[in-house]
Structure 1
Amino acid sequence: MRRRRRTTLSPASKLADYILTTFTVQLIALCLSIFVAVPLAVYTFYYPSFHPDLCSWPTPRSGPRDLRLLLFGDPQIRGPDKSSSLRTHLDLFGNDHYLGHIYSTLLPHLRPSHVIVLGDLFSSQWISDDEFDVRTRRYKHRIFRSKLGVSPEPVFLNLSGNHDIGYAHDVTESRVRRFEKHFGQLNFVVTGDDFRIIVFNSMSLDGSLNDNKNGQAGFTTDARNFLQDQMKVDFKGTTILATHVPLHKPPGTCIDKPYFTYYGEKSGGLICEQNMLSEATSQWILDGFFGNGTAGRGLVINGHDHEGCLVRHKLVDEGQSWSAVPITAGNKRYQHDYDNSAGSGVLEVTVRSMMGEYHGNAGLLSRTWNATAQDYTFTFSVCVFGAQHIWWATYVVAIISACALVTAFIGLPFLDEKARRIFVAGTMTPPILNSDAFKHYSSGHTFPVSQPPSGRQTPVNLFGGKAQKSD
């Protein structure tokens, strides 16, 4: 008779069978959740608490005149085209919610008085009106959602950028009209008891006053006349100039150096691109708002330079011109206190981009009353979330962890031992034939084998012959 032999598992199979038991799978799922998913989620949704020196206001709000400005630079929302793959659509979806996560996390944590997006809301001024409408819906409903349970809701300001309406000669009536339809005027002022925020179309300031082909002369005139009118106002409080294109600075002051390109002679040599305003325009703005000993009355905020920069503009040459003194630039965590005195010059804050490749930045600019100095003190810091991969990793790991927990604690316990071994280890140990029937293949008969009683036994020779007594 030939018995069916018990299959001998290889060492690797035995190890897998030992490790991948139900209990071990449950332990692995728990460890994945406790030591990976939970820490990622805690950091992702409470990251301002991990950097309180940079992601919180320096002092509690002490009065209604304190200002808390939450600044975002250049979200530059992209869009798909007809040839875009599923991966592109998924990336755009994730990018929207990554930017929205930064805003929705900081807003209830900071409760700012104002939120300002410093231009370049979208990635291109050349998109169609339909695509502009689509990106506007994404901007308002995915990223900068208004109903987030913050009361009172902050004043929300949107600046136009070169990728929204174009540079100088590229600004057209249709591009301006669609931007103003969804986001408000290009030039306007927001006033408070002792402050004013002046927003203006910086793309047209260096445009030609003689270019009437696309109506550029009208936009340049409007921007300059608007600023000229505000310069004439005898305003004693704090003036905050909000512009997209930064003021002029010499090479080496910031990471970006002055850069201008122009159209050919047939187009009159008009500006095609610029990363700063011209030196003449910058001097005119600084003189008009902060000259004659009033440098301590305000500051300038802007975007456009994705790397970010922080400088002070001081009067030199016996008050005849302005010079930029660098404070810091680039991807650095910093906090800067500004005493707002006339001798300190005019602070210019260029906010680093909030795009994922620049690690999701937000600028925190606050104004608080200094009782000792009997003046306002400004504090600026950059709150950095991190690369977009952190946001993706949090959700991917959370989904995997949830699936693992459901499988380990709900799925596996309902399987019998045989199915569980197959599901978990991929192998199944054959049963021991202590009470099963076994078959004599040569004769075709099946012989039952019963459980032997305890004690010394005499084995039975099933195939003839005298049995031997066992000691």
Structure 2
Amino acid sequence: MFLRLLLRRVLAVLVPLAITSTIYLYLYPLFHACAFPLPDASPSNHLSIPHLSPAFLTTLRHHLSPSPSSASPSDPPIFRLLVLADPQLEGDSSLPKPHEQLPARLSNYYADLRSSLRTKPPSATLSTLRSVLHNLLHDDLPRTFRAARKRLDLLGNDYYLAHIYRTMHWWSAPSHVTVLGDLIGSQWVSEGEFEARGERFWERVFRGGRRVEDHISGVEVLGEDEGWEHRLVNIVGNHDVGYAGDVSRGRMERFERVFGRGEWDVKFQLPSSSSSSSSSSVEGEEGEGETPTIHLINLNSLILDTPALDPAIQASAYEYLNELLDQRSAPVTGDRNRTFTLLLTHLPLHKKEGVCTDAPYFAFHEEDDSQDEPRFYAGGLKEQNHLSEYVSANAVLEGVFGMSGDESVPGGGWGRKGLILTGHDHTGCDVVHFVNRTVEKDEDEDEDKAWGWDAMRYRELGSGLEKEKRMGVPAIREVTMRSMMGEYGGYSGLLSVWFDGEWRYQIQMCAAGVQHVWWAVHVLDTVTGVLLLLVLILHLLGGSGLASGVGVSAGKDTRPRQKTKEQ
């Protein structure tokens, strides 16, 4: 009776707490007001958005009424990109090797004891037994416990990441999804482990998502192929294939087989009705110019710096880049407002120390890096935090975006309008790269060049949308996405791009919280469920008379009886 009363009092606290925390965990985008920004919404890049913002109400309305009868000015933008970065799935590299696992160790101990009993005196057998017990207690059992805890941690981490993707995808209803590299945790894993992590990626973490088909390219109309909301635009990360000094043909082939091509691009055009209605609002431009287009570019930036392990792979990357610029990119002399270039890549562009968490850093393989299986060569690029200053300027800013500080070049140096999304720096960063006409030049720079590239934090530009436009010089924003790993808060990015006479965009960040919150809620739910089951069992047993612990029959009279005269 006392136990049942105690459990009921405990559950009176646990049940409301479990229900509340579970609702919060599985509906966290609602509590943080996460939603794709609307064209007419006020800008915000933080989580402290009022819950009654137009973007939040629009998302809520679409959930309550998923099939509105007519279009509304507050409808979500046609291009909505869910941005995730650096899941870094771990695996067997963090677990004991097969010969170190408990079953293998026990088998070895059994063989040693049998051999000792047959061939050695009892004293030696006793010594062997003491050694076996010592190894079990001090090495094998602790290692087994740590391995079991790590396996549970890996399983929980997979489902934590899956929770972020599933919840954000359900709530925000993106039109496109990207993962900005470092899909797995190490480029050095075996073929079997790579396949295992790939299976976990698709079947557990991003269940329901699918690889972008190899034939995807050319021009598509936004909204016609609804399959894009389930495709994952996977970017190559250094933990997937390595840096330039590690990238081999084998590593690239297995990545592309499991996760998709390493570099490709596609153009998304507005539907003709949307294009004509948007352009008609701009006086004198109705029906003029090319169809408004978003040029999405998936660029493998890991192979652009040198020295590379395989020069042929690097040459192929530069061939792709040159073909992209010569044949498929919008001319810089055209109407820059009608094409939006969205660059997705893993490595952030070069920035001076202090702008972001990561400072520029390069390391190269040395002679003693060689192992039994040659995986790199001495002098090859081993590690980098940013793209080199040369590649950042020439390949990306002046190449992909066609920008320059030289006003005599085509387009006056303003280049192509767009946005850069990168990963790698797990803490995230938000900067603007711009032409600085007062920058101090290095000794080896051209003395006739009166400008240079510089970068500054986006928030330092004040408030408003697309603040880089007000700088008066060629500039482009780069958002380095904070990691979706639990250690960094489980972040997602919600990028809206829309056309209103010109292409505009806005991005909001949304955090799920550290992985400990996910664990705590599920542990609380499990404990609460077990206690509820226990109370139910006690109630059933009490109803049948088996829980009192007194007597065999519930109807037996156990009161003391008075003695009769005969007694």
TM range (shorter): 0.7 to 0.9
One-letter amino acid matched to 1:25:
L
Matched, 1:71 2:83: yes
Partner SS state of residue 94, structure 1: helix
Q: CA separation in 1, counterparts of 2:243 and 2:294? A: 30
The alpha-carbon distance between structure 1 residues 316 and 244, as it changes in their structure 2 partners (threshold 3 A), is same
| Contact map agreement 2:36 2:507 (CA 8 A) in 1 | no
Report what 1:57 is aligned to.
37
2:456 pairs with one of 294, 305, 325: 325
Matched, 1:379 2:490: no
Q: CA separation in 2, counterparts of 1:62 and 1:191? A: 25
1:172 pairs with one of 248, 254, 262: 248
The alpha-carbon distance between structure 1 residues 383 and 254, as it changes in their structure 2 partners (threshold 3 A), is same
Greater displacement, 39-48 / 394-403: 394-403
Partner SS state of residue 307, structure 1: coil
One-letter amino acid matched to 1:322:
W
1:302 pairs with one of 422, 426, 431: 422
Report what 1:427 is aligned to.
none
Matched, 1:39 2:39: no
Q: CA separation in 1, counterparts of 2:547 and 2:297? A: 69
| Contact map agreement 1:251 1:258 (CA 8 A) in 2 | yes
| Contact map agreement 1:290 1:296 (CA 8 A) in 2 | yes
Task: Could you tell me which runs of 5 or more consecutive residues in structure 2 were left unpaired when the two chains were aligned.
Answer: 39-54, 59-72, 102-143, 211-225, 270-292, 331-335, 369-376, 404-411, 438-448, 551-556
Matched, 1:274 2:384: yes
Partner SS state of residue 248, structure 1: coil
Comparing both structures, which one devotes a greater share of its residues to helix?
2
Matched, 1:245 2:365: no
Report what 1:144 is aligned to.
206
Give 1:401 shift. 1.1
Give 1:182 shift. 1.0
Give 1:63 shift. 7.4
Deviation string, structure 1 residues 60-85 (Cα, Å, up to 9, x no partner): 58679732111111100000232571
Partner SS state of residue 458, structure 2: strand
Deviation string, structure 1 residues 244-264 (Cα, Å, up to 9, x no partner): 111000011001111111123
Report what 2:67 is aligned to.
none
Report what 1:230 is aligned to.
324
Partner SS state of residue 356, structure 2: coil
Give 1:296 shift. 5.8
1:287 pairs with one of 389, 394, 398: 398
| Contact map agreement 2:37 2:507 (CA 8 A) in 1 | no
Comparing both structures, which one devotes a greater share of its residues to strand?
1
| Contact map agreement 1:339 1:378 (CA 8 A) in 2 | no
Partner SS state of residue 186, structure 2: coil
After TM superposition, the structure 1 = structure 2 runs for residues 272-421 of structure 1, keeping only pairs within 5 Å, are 272-284=382-394, 285-288=396-399, 289-291=401-403, 292-295=412-415, 297-317=417-437, 320-327=451-458, 337-338=465-466, 341=469, 343=472, 345-370=475-500, 374-415=501-542, 420=547
Greater displacement, 55-64 / 170-179: 55-64
Q: CA separation in 2, counterparts of 1:381 and 1:336? A: 13
The alpha-carbon distance between structure 1 residues 147 and 253, as it changes in their structure 2 partners (threshold 3 A), is closer
After TM superposition, the structure 1 = structure 2 runs for residues 185-264 of structure 1, keeping only pairs within 5 Å, are 185-193=261-269, 194-208=293-307, 214=309, 216-232=310-326, 233-235=328-330, 236=336, 237-264=339-366
Partner SS state of residue 119, structure 1: coil
The alpha-carbon distance between structure 1 residues 204 and 57, as it changes in their structure 2 partners (threshold 3 A), is same
One-letter amino acid matched to 2:181:
G
| Contact map agreement 1:29 1:408 (CA 8 A) in 2 | no
| Contact map agreement 1:57 1:110 (CA 8 A) in 2 | no
Q: CA separation in 1, counterparts of 2:245 and 2:164? A: 34
One-letter amino acid matched to 1:327:
Y
The alpha-carbon distance between structure 1 residues 290 and 62, as it changes in their structure 2 partners (threshold 3 A), is farther
One-letter amino acid matched to 2:85:
G
Which structure is larger by alpha-carbon Rg, 1 or 2? 1
Q: CA separation in 2, counterparts of 1:337 and 1:239? A: 17
The alpha-carbon distance between structure 1 residues 261 and 411, as it changes in their structure 2 partners (threshold 3 A), is same
One-letter amino acid matched to 2:8:
Q
Report what 1:441 is aligned to.
none
| Contact map agreement 1:295 1:346 (CA 8 A) in 2 | no
| Contact map agreement 2:4 2:538 (CA 8 A) in 1 | no
Q: How many residues align?
A: 400
One-letter amino acid matched to 1:50:
F
Q: CA separation in 2, counterparts of 1:38 and 1:51? A: 18
Q: CA separation in 2, counterparts of 1:121 and 1:234? A: 28
Partner SS state of residue 98, structure 1: helix
| Contact map agreement 1:309 1:328 (CA 8 A) in 2 | no
The alpha-carbon distance between structure 1 residues 254 and 78, as it changes in their structure 2 partners (threshold 3 A), is same
Q: CA separation in 1, counterparts of 2:207 and 2:430? A: 29
Deviation string, structure 1 residues 204-253 (Cα, Å, up to 9, x no partner): 10023xx6xx4x21121122221222222451511111111110000110
TM-score by length of 2: 0.65
Task: Could you tell me which runs of 5 or more consecutive residues in structure 1 were left unpaired when the two chains were aligned.
Answer: 1-16, 330-334, 424-432, 438-447, 451-459, 464-471
TM-score by length of 1: 0.77
One-letter amino acid matched to 2:392:
S
One-letter amino acid matched to 2:477:
L
| Contact map agreement 1:296 1:341 (CA 8 A) in 2 | no
| Contact map agreement 2:341 2:416 (CA 8 A) in 1 | no
Give 1:359 shift. 1.3
One-letter amino acid matched to 1:41:
T
One-letter amino acid matched to 2:516:
H
